[in-house]
Amino acid sequence: MHRTGIVIEFENGAIKETSLGVMTAAKGHEIYALVPEANAASVKDKLAEYGAGKIVAISGLETGSPDLQAEMLAAAVKEYGFEALLGTAGTTGKDLFARIGAILDEPLVSDCVAVNIGEKIVKKSHFSGKTLATLKVNSPILLCTLRPNSIDPEKAAAPGEMIEFKTGAVDPGLIKIVDIKKAGEGKLDLTEASVVITGGRGIKAAENYKMLEALAQKIGAAVGASRAAVDAGYAPHSMQVGQTGKTVSPKLYIACGVSGAVQHFAGMKTSKVIVAINEDKDAPIFSKCDYGIIGDIFKIIPALTEKL
């Protein structure tokens, strides 16, 4: 049993699913869920349901200042003597933990896929998913963020005893968030998109990309093309994924009518899940994707779009 703090993240006032997964990662340990005081009451039951022995309601943690948040959490670490502090490796979590690590001057491991709190051993990807590294952290405290969805949340009822914590920290720090711009409409950037749909030579004509764009819009994806499709004039070079085009690493990659040349794989093989749809059962793409459908993209894509 090691005393472990979990930094809980919220979306529209509710606990993010991924934070529950992080609690599950600390199963069997003495879990302290760290939440802003303002949210504490509304999420108390849920946190208890997923294993929070204690819920630390931190006064002012809802502040918009990342430096101040980090100061408060660092203070909580000291206050409660955590042996581990865990969070989610999303944009916010990664930023916050890096700040905490700097304040405490303790080692941090970011974006882990597995954690052993007792041994202070974690596993994480190195080299764009090509290797898995096992790391040992030699420190009184294990600071670690976990890759979203790497651990499925499991219920594990615990007392969920509420503690209030006033840190005394007030310094807003050196940076100031002055505005938040909501996501705009329009096409997503290929290299950063979390879902990419690519049309290959099998798309047969430039105008058929509209079919892919319809699907893309529905699931927040960016649309790419294979070299063969670019070569045939169906798509501009800026859309090319592969050796002489762009490298992408989305969560989901859907290849439509792409044969799957080695050169194409070079640009997308680190995608988390690869789905291929192709008429040709011998297309090389089927040997290297996760899910394959042999069939006509002009029937399957519209059907898929409708179901999503």
Partner 1 sequence: MKTHARAVIIGGGAIGVSIAYHLSKYGMKDVVLVEKHELTSGSTWMAAGNVSFYHPSYYCTQVNMKSIEIFKQLEKETGQPAGWHTTGSIRTADNKDRMDELGYYYSMNRCLGLDVSFVSPEEIGKLHPLINTRGLMGGLYWPDDGDVDPNSMTQAMAKGARQYGAELNLHTLVTGIEQKPSGEWLVKTDKGDITSEFVVNAAGLWAPQISKMVGIEIPSIAIAHTHILYETIHAVVERNKPLPLVRDPDRSIYLRQEMDSLILGMYEAKGQQWKKEGVPWDYAQQELNPDIDNISDCIEAGIERFPILGDTGFKHVTAGPITYTPNGDPLVGPAAPLKNFFQACGYSFGITQAGGIGHYLAGWIMNGEPEIDLWHVDCRRFGSHANWAYNHEKIADVYPRLYSIFFPNEFRDAARPNKTSPIYEYQKQANAVFGDYYGWECPNYFPPAGEDGYETPSWRRSNAFKHVGNECRHAMNKVGIIDLTRFAKTKISGSGAKAWLNTITCQNVPEKDGIIALSPVLDHNGNFKSDMTVTRINDTEFFCVTASVGKKHDQHWMTLNLPSDGSVLMEDLTYKMGCLVLVGPDSRKVLEKIVYGDVSNGAFKFSTSLEIYVGRTKCRVNRMNYVGELGFEIFHPIEQQIAVYKALMEAGKAFDIKFIGMHAMDSMRLEKGYLAWKSEMNVHHTPLETNVAWTVKIDKDFIGKQGLLKQKKQGIPLKLVCLVVDVKDCDPWGYNPIFKDGARIGMTSSGGYGHRVEKSIALGYVKPEFAEPGTKMEVEILGRSRKATVETMPLYDPKNEKMKS
Partner 2 sequence: MKICVCVKHVPDTAATIKLAGENGFVDTEIKFVFNPYDEYGVEEAVCIVEKQGGEVIIVTVGNASATATIQSALAMGAHRAILVKTDSQFLDSQLTAKALKSAMEKDGLPDMIFTGKGSVDTESFQTQYRLAGMLGMPVVNEVSSLILDGSKAIVQRETGGGEKQVIEMGLPCVIGATKGLNEPRYPKFPDIMKAKKKEIRVMTLPELGIDASAGRVVIEKLEIVPERSGAKMLSGSVDEQTTELVRILKMDEKVL
Q: How far is the CB of 244 from partner 1 (least distance, A)?
A: 7
| Contact predicate 66/74, CB 8 Å | no
Q: Does 296 bind partner 1 (CB under 8 A)?
A: no
Residue among 261 and 293 whose Cβ is closer to partner 1: 261
Q: Which of 107, 114, 163, 261 binds partner 2 (CB under 8 A)?
A: 107
Rounded Cα distance, 115 and 225, in Å? 38
Asked if 90 is part of the footprint of partner 2 (rule: CB under 8 A), the reply reads yes
Give the footprint of partner 2 on residues 236-265 (CB under 8 A).
243, 247, 251-252
Out of 103, 114, 232, 261, point to the residue binding partner 2 (CB under 8 A). Answer: 103
Q: Would you mind telling me the total number of residues written for the chain in this entry?
A: 308
Q: Does the protein bind partner 1 through residue 137 (CB under 8 A)? A: no
Instruction: Give which of 68, 71, 72, 22 is closest to 47, Cα–Cα.
Output: 22
Q: How many other β-carbons are positioned within 10 Å of the β-carbon of residue 63?
A: 19
Task: Using DSSP bridges, classify how beta strands 14-15 and 10-11 pair: parallel, antiparallel or unpaired.
Answer: antiparallel
Identify which of 140, 138, 90, 147 has the alpha carbon closest to the alpha carbon of residue 115: 147
Stretch that binds partner 2, among 36-44, 48-56, 197-205, 268-276 (CB under 8 A): 268-276
**Is residue 206 involved in binding partner 1 (CB under 8 A)?**
no
Distance CA 109, CA 9 (A): 18
Size, binding site for partner 2 by CB under 8 A:
85
* CB-based contacts of 169, cutoff 8 Å, min separation 6: 60, 68, 71, 72, 75
Residue 134 found at the interface with partner 1 (CB under 8 A):
no
Cβ 290 to partner 2, closest distance in Å?
6
Q: How far is the CB of 239 from partner 1 (least distance, A)?
A: 12
Residue list 218-277, contact with partner 1 (CB under 8 A): 227-228, 230-232, 237, 243-244, 259, 261-263, 265-266
| Cα gap 144→91, rounded to integer Å | 14
Decide if residue 172 touches partner 2 (CB under 8 A).
Answer: no
> Which of the listed partners (partner 2, partner 1, none) does 201 bind, with a CB threshold of 5 to 8 Å by partner kind?
partner 1
Q: Minimum distance from CB of 231 to partner 2 (Å)?
A: 21
Whether the Cβ atoms of residue 242 and residue 261 lie closer than 8 Å to each other: yes
> How many other C-beta atoms can be found within 10 angstroms of the C-beta atom of residue 159?
10
Contact flag: residue 290 with partner 1 (CB under 8 A): no
Residues 6 or more apart whose Cβ sits within 8 Å of residue 135? 109, 121, 122, 123, 124
308 binds, among partner 2, partner 1, none (CB under 5 to 8 A by kind): partner 2
Is the separation of the CB atoms in 177 and 254 below 8 Å?
A: no
Interface positions, 21-40, toward partner 1 (CB under 8 A): none
**Binding status of residue 151 toward partner 2 by CB under 8 A:** no
Binding site for partner 1 (CB under 8 A): 201, 227-228, 230-232, 237, 243-244, 259, 261-263, 265-266, 280, 282, 284, 287
